Amino acid sequence: MGTKDFNALDLFICRWRSRIVRRHIRPAARVLDFGCGHQAMILRAIQPDIKSGIGLDYDATPGRIADNLEIRQFHFKNRLDFPDGHFDHVTILAVLEHIALDEVDPLFREFRRILADGGRVLITTPTPAAKPVLEFLAFKLHVISKPEIADHRHYYSEADLRALAARHGLEFTAYDKFLFGFNCFATLTKPPR
């Protein structure tokens, strides 16, 4: 998320998304937030409840933002530099739609690898119904970030996310829409051996 340029509406949506995701974070979890954004909002929100959190973003300022939180500047190139089974959760919030389609499968292969058995990928992304609304809000009304919306590569349906889970040996364990059906939350779980 390009959280440097958030306006009031962007921030409202981000907080709504955060409230939904927080309910699914296990206590004392090890969390990777992929695409954490400049402000690392979800990590800051869950910081008291988790064992450790690492945020990755190409545009973030690296550093330790709490005793148990670290931000790393990072651009994905087919590999995440973490050991197998290291994380309980991977969050990818309002980021998947920005990833080039040919990079999605390599990224999710890595997510599966770095998740512990029973670990979960927690996703939020706009639904296909959001495309005309977001484009109208960004390009006509100018109330949300134009660059963010222009960078959307794909709007994911439930079927798209189910197929993504299946391709990577993950169980599709939760799906719900929010923001009037324009966004969705999905959980993809690594099955125990």
pLDDT per residue as tens digits for the range 123-139: 999 999 999 999 999 99
H helix or E strand, kind and range, residue 162: helix 158-167
Please state, in angstroms and rounded to a whole number, the distance separating the CA atoms of residues 106 and 167.
11
With contact defined as beta carbons under 8 Å apart, do 66 and 59 qualify?
A: no
Which one-letter amino acid corresponds to residue 7? N
Crossing angle of helices 158-167 and 101-114, rounded to 10°:
60
pTM of this structure: 0.93
What is the rounded CA–CA span in Å between residue 178 and residue 181? 5
Least reliable range by pLDDT among 42-46, 115-119, 143-147, 172-176: 143-147
Q: Cα separation of 16 and 178, whole Å?
A: 9
pLDDT in tens, 25-58: 999 999 999 999 988 999 999 999 999 999 999 9
Q: Which fold would CATH assign to domain 3-189?
A: Rossmann fold (3.40.50)
Structure tokens at 34: 């992929």
